[in-house]
Amino acid sequence: MIYDLHTHSNASDGILSPEELVSRAKSRGVTHLALTDHDTTEGLHRAGIIADQEGICLISGIEFSTQWQGINIHIVGLNVNVEGEQLCAAIAKQGKIRGERAHEIGRRLAHEGIKDAYDGARSFAQGSIIGRPHFARFLVDKGHVPSMSVAFKRYLGAGKAGDVKHSWPDIGQAVADIRSAGGVAVIAHPNRYNLTRTKLRRLVADFKDAGGEAIEVVSGQQSSNDTAAMQNIAAQFDLHASCGSDFHMPDQPWQELGAFGALPAQCNPVWQLWQEAG
């Protein structure tokens, strides 16, 4: 069995449609797939239809943008009831924040001499929620930068003009919203925040206090040192372990569907939480 519990479709900033994502996961041997688009559950209905046809188990997920001590932290929700009232209200609020933020990013890029970025990003989003990758694609398309990673380095990454983050809810809010819909809250890609071990432990402690239950011990292709360190933290805080690719698009081997190391045997896999619940 291969569980990939962190993936994106074009309902947020992924490239593949929900149908293409599910088919690709199936063809790569994934047996249990969570679609966890940023701040939306829009793609899940379509993903569910094709998952039934293809015979792959789809887990309803979401990846919430939050902030903690001024840092942009992502909290994944797994096995959520997409009709949960509080969850739907939270998603509506995130959508509003994203809309306002996109306008602000557009204004800030205009100050940098880049015109029409908001409209450009919106057309790349094609009606889905807007994220920084849509701005990155616009910047590449218009020749302002050679690649998306340079777009982040120059314009969109931490501390750059397009880094507008102070409106996200705190992690406690996201955990509560996920739990209100019967879901399990998971700290996404803990290695990617460049936190010291001490600060990461503080984040995990706050998350646990808020009712968080799991952490991604394996996120995409990472070193065995990182896996061991995250497994230690999971054990120390009595958290369940999740694993996922964070797949966004084909041709990025480091985040291909299902392509990551196994969870260490000592871990309590996160799926126990919903399998036990029946």
**CA 93, chain centre distance (Å):** 17
Each residue 230-249 as x (binds ligand AMP by CB under 6 A) or -, in order, gives ------------------x-
- Nearer Cβ to Mn ion, position 110 or 259? 259
CB 135 within 8 A of CB 121: yes
> With CB cut-offs between 5 and 8 Å by kind, which of ligand AMP, Mn ion, none does residue 132 bind?
ligand AMP
Q: In the set 133, 172, 190, 220, which binds ligand AMP (CB under 6 A)?
A: 133
Report if residue 246 touches Mn ion, rule: CB under 5 A.
yes
| CB-nearer residue toward Mn ion: 13 or 42 | 13
SS3 196: coil
- In this structure, how many other beta carbons lie within 10 angstroms of the beta carbon of residue 176? 17
Site pattern 151..190 for Mn ion (x: CB under 5 A): -------------------------------------x--
Report CA-CA distances (Å) from 11 to 43, 46, 72, 85, 254: 5, 10, 21, 20, 22
CB 94 within 8 A of CB 64: yes
Task: Report the residue closest to Mn ion, judged by CB.
Answer: 74
Q: Which amino acid is at 247?
A: F
The answer to whether residue 132 forms part of the interface with ligand AMP (CB under 6 A) is yes
User: Which 58-77 residues touch ligand AMP, going by CB under 6 A?
Assistant: 65
The three-state (H, E, C) secondary structure of 91-113, written as one string: HHHHHHHHHHHHHHHHHHHHHCC
Chain contacts with ligand AMP (rule: CB under 6 A): 13, 38, 65, 131-133, 148-149, 152, 157, 248
